Amino acid sequence: MAEAGSFAERVKQQADIVRVVGEYVRLKKTGKDFSGLCPFHQEKTPSFTVSPIKQIFYCFGCGKGGDVYNFVMDMEKCEFPEAVKVVAEKCGIAIPRLKERSPEERKENQQRSVLVEIHREAQTFFVKQLQGTTEGSLAGAYLEDRGLSKDAIERFGIGYAPSGGEALLRQLKPKYNDKLLVDSGLVSRDQSGGRLFDRFRRRITFPISNESGKIVAFGARALGDDMPKYLNSPETPIYSKSNVLYHMDRAKEGIRRDDYAILVEGYMDAIAVARAGISNVVASCGTSLAEPQVKLLGRFTKRVIVNYDPDAAGQSATERSLALLLEHDFEVRVLALPPVGNKKADPDLFIRERGKDEYLKLLKDAPPYVDYLIARARQMDLTTGEGKLRAVNFLLPYVQKIPNRILRSEWATRIAQQLRLDEPVLRAALSKAASERRSEVKTKPELVARAAKPVERRLIRMLAEAEGFRKQLAEQLQNARLYHGLETERIFAALVIASLSGQPVQAAEVGAALEERDRRLLYEILFEEANEPTWEEAMSCIEALQHRQAERELADVQRSIEANPAAPELRGLLEKKQQLMRRLAAAR
Ligand SMILES: [Zn+2]
């Protein structure tokens, strides 16, 4: 992965894996290594180990392992280049500016950074309008009425776009040309193609940031009865609404820490929830979720509580989002808030009226999506056969997405009871649906590491560590083909090749080239308690392998003799048998 001489390789050499991992996991020194509670699976006793000598980590519980980049990629849910950047930043290593490939690319990059700059200026402008103008103070009063304190207004960068129609334009025009202003989406051109004017007028503005915290768009709510009530930035070179989740930049820490996200519909909801002290909330800012948004979220967690508006639009948005989340293997719960008085409650209203503690409690008890769906199905007319069929057809696509067979079966029973359906009929429908999806289910590789014999484990460890005689050992193993046919053959092969190269052996790189099962076994062996390797021990291990090899050969010869006792090769086979038996006797 990290090519020799590359920036990634240099960073890796300078970075200390213990220090980087230590920013995420509390590590304790245990012997030569460090250990702590694994950040990738739930555990009470530490099985997560970091080796400062080999610069690798391994978890004996869940089997995750690798070098500092593998760790950061898993932790930050990012790709390799991003991981290199993260590690470099953590270690205070300056990142070289990336070279743009072509003049067009350079131009696009330049345009993008100017558009970001325009948004930054617009943000400053909107915030000033809210605080410093008569018109703006009216908007401020409205926000206060919605329960937003000055503090919150400031924290979420809420601003105001005045009604004039050219206020922002006048501000920006001296610095940027018309095309850039139109490209930014903040300024529109009228139908006849001439006059420019502000896109947002007489609206409260909410800055929308991308994942790294740069403002790339605005959402704007009408102050009066202007339609539409909510107006967002259009798609621009720096903003695509299906790629951005509102509040993601501030939520990602909390999402990773708590390993779940709360998904709400609008900015006001996200702000209300975040203000209640629940930082891991994001808003889809549209009626339903788009696939890129699901993928973005999936980089941080696979668990979501959907808390959309309780109206009809919110319900169907919930159901569409559910389908998408389930397709991407999310564990989904649904929070449907009870009405406040006789008003249907979105998260904003609910928290304002009933308080954050009540909200937190409901959040904690939010039911799995199937319960929510059953409740929805029960609202349908279940008195007729037709109605029941409709209810089943509504539920089936979701239920069949449950990957676990036992769980699916439990749900079938539950649905049958709740909807008063004939259980066998429902089960038949379910298993038919299940068999249709079975072809999509990928079988996971066997994750249990195989038990390798002690001799093989020792030799593997020596190949990885014994700087003094690794190369000679590799030659012996290679020349006598001693590891051929062993369960650990592929691990040996990788280590022998690395050792013969004469370069220092990088355990993480050898591991990266192996399949999951082999990699796990390699890491397990590397983290075992062990003494300093000696050449004498290496030789006695080699002898043991030779012995096993002779035994295997003897068994082969014996089989050949028995298979064709009259064959012309019989004499040769018998001689070979004698030889092998002498060798084995001598070794005893
Ligand atoms: Zn683990």
Hey, is 262 helix, strand or coil? strand
Distance 520 CA to ligand 1 centre (A): 12
244 burial (CB, 10 Å; 0-12 / 13-18 / 19+) is buried
Q: Which residue has the tokens 């709400």?
A: 264
| CA 77 to centroid of ligand 1, rounded, Å | 16
- Is residue 3 very low, low, confident or very high in pLDDT (cuts 50, 70, 90)? low
Q: How far is the CA of 329 from the centre of ligand 1 (A)?
A: 20
Specify the pLDDT at position 98.
59
Rounded to the nearest whole angstrom, what is the distance from the C-alpha of residue 513 to the centroid of ligand 1? 21
Is residue 527 within 8 Å of residue 33, measured between CB atoms? yes
Average pLDDT, integer, range 239-266: 89
Question: Which residue pairs from 3-8 have beta carbons closer than 8 angstroms and sit at least 24 positions apart in sequence?
Answer: 7/84, 7/88, 7/95, 7/96, 8/69, 8/80, 8/84
Average pLDDT over residues 288-296: 84
36 CA from centroid of ligand 1 (Å): 10
- How many angstroms does the Cα of residue 63 sit away from the middle of ligand 1? 6
Inform me whether the pLDDT recorded for 440 exceeds 70: no
Q: What is the pLDDT of residues 223-237, one digit of tens each?
A: 877 788 889 999 999
Check if the beta carbon of residue 222 is closer than 8 Å to that of residue 229: yes
CA 491 to ligand 1 centroid distance, Å: 22
505 CA distance to ligand 1 centroid (A)? 25
Amino acid at 99: K
Helix, strand, coil share of the chain (percent; to 5): 55, 10, 35
For residue 40, the CA-to-ligand 1 centroid distance in Å is 5
Give residue 244's pLDDT: 92
- Cβ partners under 8 Å of residue 429, min gap 6: 392, 396
For residue 449, how far is its CA from the centre of ligand 1 (angstroms)? Answer: 14
Residue 439 reports pLDDT greater than 70: no
pLDDT at 448: 35
How confident is residue 124, by pLDDT bands cut at 50, 70 and 90? Answer: very high
Sign (positive or negative) of CA dihedral 430, 436, 442, 443: positive
CA of 274 to the centre of ligand 1 (A): 30
Residues with Cβ within 8 Å of 543's Cβ and at least 6 positions away in sequence, in order, are 587
Q: Crossing angle for the helix pair 312-327 and 291-298, nearest 10 degrees?
A: 60
Distance 511 CA to ligand 1 centre (A): 17
Instruction: Report CA(573)–ligand 1 centroid distance (Å).
Output: 51
Q: Measure the CA–CA gap between 433 and 449, rounded to whole angstroms.
A: 34
376 Cα–ligand 1 center, Å: 38
Name residue 56's beta-bridge partners.
51
Residue 586 C-alpha to ligand 1 middle, in angstroms?
47
Residue with tokens 């999402």: 255
Report residue 474's pLDDT band, with 50, 70 and 90 as the boundaries: very high
The whole-model pTM stands at: 0.59
The pLDDT of residue 447 is 32
HSE (CB half, 13 Å, CA atoms) of 338? 7
Give the integer Cα–Cα distance in Å for 510 and 504.
11
DSSP summary character for residue 532:
P
Predicted local confidence at residue 432, as pLDDT: 66
Q: Do residues 112 and 238 make contact, with C-beta atoms less than 8 angstroms apart?
A: yes
**Alpha-carbon distance 86 to 428, whole Å?**
51
CA atoms within 13 A on the CB side of 161: 30
| Tally of CB atoms within 10 A around 145 | 8
Looking at residues 121-144, what average pLDDT do you find? 92
C-alpha of residue 41 to centroid of ligand 1, in Å? 5
Nearest Cα residue to 208 out of 239, 177, 186, 168: 239
Cα of 259 from ligand 1 centre, angstroms = 15
The Cα–Cα gap between 178 and 537 comes to 78
pLDDT given for residue 386 in this prediction:
76
pLDDT of the residue at 247: 95
- In order of 46, 484, 508, the CA distances from 29 in angstroms are 12, 38, 21
Tokens of 471: 């190369």
CB-based contact 512:66 (threshold 8 Å): yes
Ligand 1 center–CA 507 separation, angstroms = 19
Distance of CA 348 to the CA centre of its chain: 28
Q: Are 161 and 185 in contact (CB under 8 A)?
A: no
Ranges 232-241, 546-555, 573-582, most confident: 232-241
Residues with CB under 5 A from ligand 1 (ion): 38, 40-41, 59, 61-62
* Cα 231 versus chain centre, distance: 31
Answer yes or no: are the C-beta atoms of 1 and 512 closer than 8 Å. Answer: yes
Residue 364 CA to ligand 1 centre (angstroms): 25
Distance 20 CA to ligand 1 centre (A): 17
What is the 84 CA–ligand 1 centroid distance (Å)? 22
Residue 244 CB contacts under 8 Å (≥ 6 apart), including other chains: 208, 210, 211, 216, 217, 285, 293, 296
- How many angstroms does the Cα of residue 64 sit away from the middle of ligand 1? 6
* 207: preceding bond cis by omega (within 30 degrees): no
CA angle 210, 212, 214 (to 5 degrees): 60
pLDDT at 272: 93
Q: Determine the distance separating the centroid of ligand 1 and the alpha carbon of 71, expressed in angstroms.
A: 11
Q: How far does the centroid of ligand 1 lie from the alpha carbon of residue 405, in Å?
A: 25
| Cα(88) to centroid(ligand 1), Å | 25
CA distance 542 to 323: 57
Residue 450 C-alpha to ligand 1 middle, in angstroms? 18
From ligand 1's centre to the CA of 37, what distance in Å?
A: 8
- How many residues are there in the chain? 588
CA nearest neighbour of 545 among 586, 484, 463: 484
Give distance in angstroms: CA of 24 to centre of ligand 1. 13
| Token code pair at residue 126 | 């909107």
Query: 58 C-alpha vs ligand 1 centroid, how far in Å?
Result: 8
Interval between CA 56 and ligand 1 midpoint (Å): 14
The residues near 6 (Cβ < 8 Å, ≥ 6 apart) are: none
Q: How confident is the model at residue 77 (pLDDT cuts 50, 70, 90)?
A: confident
